[in-house]
Copies of this chain bind each other. A is one copy, B any other.
Amino acid sequence: MKLKKSWINSANDAKSQFPLNNLPYGVFAMPDDDEAGAHCGVAIGDMILDLTLLEEEGVLVVSNEPVFDLPFWNEFIELGPDAWAALRTRLEDLLAEGGDDTVSGDADLKSRALIAQSAVEMQLPIVVTEYTDFYASRHHATNIGTMFRGAENALPPNWLHIPIGYNGRASSVVVSGSDVRRPWGQLKSPDQDSPEFLPCRRFDLELEMGAIVGTASDGPITVAEADENIFGYVLLNDWSARDIQAWEYQPLGPFQSKATATTISPWIVTKAALEPFRCMTPPREVPLLPHLQDVGPMLYDIDLTVTLAPEGKAATTITRTNYSALYYSAAQQLAHHTTSGCPMNVGDLLGSGTISGPTKPERGSLQELSWGGKEPLTLETGESRCFLEDGDTLTLYGTAQGDGYLIGFGECTGTLLPALKDPYKR
**A residues engaging B (CB < 8 A)?**
129-130, 135, 145, 148, 156-158, 161-162, 164-172, 181, 183-186, 188, 194-197, 219-222, 241, 244, 247-257, 259-261, 286, 289-291, 336-337, 339-345, 348, 420, 423-424
Least distance between A74 CB and chain B CB atoms (Å): 14
Determine whether the beta carbon of B254 is less than 8 Å from that of A158: no
A148 neighbours in B (Cβ, 8 Å): 251
Determine whether the beta carbon of A165 is less than 8 Å from that of B255: yes
A291 neighbours in B (Cβ, 8 Å): 197, 424
Task: Kindly identify which residue among B170, B196, B252, B340 contacts A166, using a CB–CB cutoff of 8 Å.
Answer: B252
Determine whether the beta carbon of B343 is less than 8 Å from that of A172: yes
* A186 in contact with B289 given A135-B252, A252-B135 (CB within 8 Å): yes
Determine whether the beta carbon of B343 is less than 8 Å from that of A248: no
Bound form: Cα–Cα A220–B256 in Å? 11
Determine whether the beta carbon of B166 is less than 8 Å from that of A247: no
A195 neighbours in B (Cβ, 8 Å): 158, 161-162, 289
Question: Nearest chain-B residue to A335 (Cβ)?
Answer: B424
Task: Kindly identify which residue among B171, B254, B343 contacts A253, using a CB–CB cutoff of 8 Å.
Answer: B254
Bound form: Cα–Cα A135–B260 in Å? 21
Task: Kindly identify which residue among B156, B167, B249 contacts A167, using a CB–CB cutoff of 8 Å.
Answer: B167
A157 neighbours in B (Cβ, 8 Å): 250
**Can you list 23 A-B contacts (CB < 8 A)?**
A130-B169, A135-B252, A145-B251, A157-B250, A158-B188, A161-B188, A162-B195, A166-B255, A167-B168, A171-B344, A184-B339, A186-B289, A195-B289, A196-B289, A220-B423, A249-B253, A256-B336, A256-B337, A256-B342, A257-B340, A259-B340, A260-B341, A261-B341
Least distance between A155 CB and chain B CB atoms (Å): 10
Question: Nearest chain-B residue to A290 (Cβ)?
Answer: B197
Determine whether the beta carbon of A183 is less than 8 Å from that of B254: no
Task: Kindly identify which residue among B164, B171, B259 contacts A252, using a CB–CB cutoff of 8 Å.
Answer: B164
Least distance between A258 CB and chain B CB atoms (Å): 8
Bound form: Cα–Cα A57–B248 in Å? 52
Least distance between A235 CB and chain B CB atoms (Å): 21
Question: Nearest chain-B residue to A167 (Cβ)?
Answer: B167
* A339 in contact with B171 given A158-B248, A220-B424 (CB within 8 Å): no
Bound form: Cα–Cα A248–B158 in Å? 7
Bound form: Cα–Cα A148–B252 in Å? 13
Least distance between A188 CB and chain B CB atoms (Å): 8
Determine whether the beta carbon of A156 is less than 8 Å from that of B251: yes
Bound form: Cα–Cα A244–B207 in Å? 29
A158 neighbours in B (Cβ, 8 Å): 186, 188, 195, 247-248, 250
Determine whether the beta carbon of A340 is less than 8 Å from that of B183: yes
A169 neighbours in B (Cβ, 8 Å): 130, 167, 342
- In the complex, which of the residues A247, A251, A253, A261 has the most CB atoms of chain B within 10 Å of its own CB atom? A251
* A183 in contact with B339 given A196-B289, A249-B251 (CB within 8 Å): yes
Question: Nearest chain-B residue to A195 (Cβ)?
Answer: B161
Least distance between A147 CB and chain B CB atoms (Å): 12
A181 neighbours in B (Cβ, 8 Å): 341
Determine whether the beta carbon of A253 is less than 8 Å from that of B166: yes
Determine whether the beta carbon of B170 is less than 8 Å from that of A130: yes
- In the complex, which of the residues A162, A255, A424 has the most CB atoms of chain B within 10 Å of its own CB atom? A255
